[in-house]
Structure 1
């Protein structure tokens, strides 16, 4: 997800301390796989397993949003970056629509967020930009992580202090999803409700110190793998459920 303009940029310089983009991408991949496995196999997994998987799943999007903004900062070609997102979003929509949701997948959401980042830097009128932002953000309601994603990405772009922008961005899903999930858990104390609460309260919260540890380095490249893995793992999980369990239904939660 993260790109860099050249091999001599500071983001590619060797770093001795902290985390590069590579382990963050690995964590995002693990969390994404856990999260989608929960949804696809919801009816077949013990509640205890759902809690563990959803807890890891909460790592995914805050990391993806952060890496998108870092990628935008360092890319030498925004148009090429957008085309790559669009191509893989279209490819991923097939397994996503078959096995997870009738809405649009998260790569479309990230593509919209990339467009908003570009607009923020190139529109002369701030008032006009924020009007566009409100309209475009409202349109993402049909996308995975819609509404929240553009807000998180813009916080990561607008807030000057790195530690604050990471914390403020993660606090958005913690507040918007975590507090209602916690209220539901207190009202109906079931493990399934605990699983939904752990996603933002444990997973998203854990991304704050992880992203604070980011040292600006690229680390081992995995650009194409990161993009290709998204549609591939959904297809594998969905096909396995259909072939092994005879269940071809779309995720029901």
Structure 2
């Protein structure tokens, strides 16, 4: 079934990124400030639990829409980038840079490294898996050798399994479910009436991620355009991730010393 939404498709890639960043910021205010503050009991005399819990739940609800948008745009970026190696290196560098701010913001700095890893690692693993699968599909399938075409499927399955296992072991955000979502967006990128519902159903395998449906709905209104070429300014989206985590930690520590 093809949904005729062409006249409503007003969201380009840059707009979707901004929406995802705003959703993520709102989510992390709840996770990095409200939740830790309540857990240590600092806020009990300032706000009743019901009111605090209402704000917290509302923020986390909004935040659930961020990941599906980022996952979708990663696949779009992979398809259209002129330099996949630079794309992967950018994700890797910012995944490393972001890990300590991530640990500080979410009170994990006293845990062993990789107790859980930030979402940049999830996106990096997804990119590498898609890159490998894309190579097998395009390069090996073009070979005239029958054995090469036969090897395509187990090779792709092995790469996917390794990627999913790695995401699970390092416990990065969304783990193997996130990798699966990106793969669905990749395999069915020309069939959005399949890819969007299927990826949503898969993500629902994680508790509370059924709340991500607004983010998936927004993807139907993507106009398949990147938006204005930002040049080097595109790295602001990368910088925003560790920067906002450090800022939230600094605010929490300045006010509550936790």
TM tier, smaller: 0.7 to 0.9
Match of 2:19 among 27, 30, 34: 27
1:16 Cα deviation after fit: 8.8
CA distance in 1, matches of 2:216, 2:163: 27
Q: Determine if the alignment matches structure 1 residue 155 to structure 2 residue 184.
A: yes
Q: Mapping of 1:178-189 within 5 angstroms? A: 178=207
Q: How far is 1:17 from its partner?
A: 4.2
Matched, 1:213 2:221: yes
Structure 1 equivalent of residue 194 of structure 2:
164
1:198-232 Cα shifts (integer Å, max 9, x gaps): xx233x11122210100011124352111000000
Counterpart mapping for 1:105-144 below 5 A: 105-123=118-136, 124=140, 125-141=152-168, 142-144=171-173
1:95 paired residue among 92, 98, 101: 101
Give the TM-score normalised by the residue count of structure 1.
0.78
Equivalenced residues, count:
211
- Does the Cα contact within 8 Å between 2:9 and 2:220 map onto a contact in 1? no
Alignment of 1:22-61 (within 5 A): 22-41=14-33, 42=35, 43=38, 44=43, 46-61=52-67
TM-score w.r.t. length of structure 2: 0.77
> How far apart in 2 are the matches of 1:241 and 1:17?
39
Residue 109 of structure 1: how far off its partner (Å): 1.2
Note the aligned Cα RMSD (angstroms).
1.8
Deviations 1:172-217 (A, max 9, x none): 122x124xxxxxxxxxxxxxxxxxx4xx233x11122210100011
Which is greater in Rg?
2
CA distance in 2, matches of 1:78, 1:111: 11
Whole-Å separation in 2 of the counterparts to 1:109 and 1:16: 31
Distance in 2 between the 1:110 and 1:17 partners? 25
Q: Answer yes or no: is 1:201 the counterpart of 2:228.
A: no
Deviation at 1:116, TM superposition (A): 0.7
Tell me the distance in 2 between the aligned counterparts of 1:201 and 1:134: 24
**Equivalents in 2 of 1:67, 1:19: separation in Å?**
12
d(CA) in 2 for partners of 1:81 and 1:17? 27
The range that moved more, 34-43 or 60-69, is 34-43
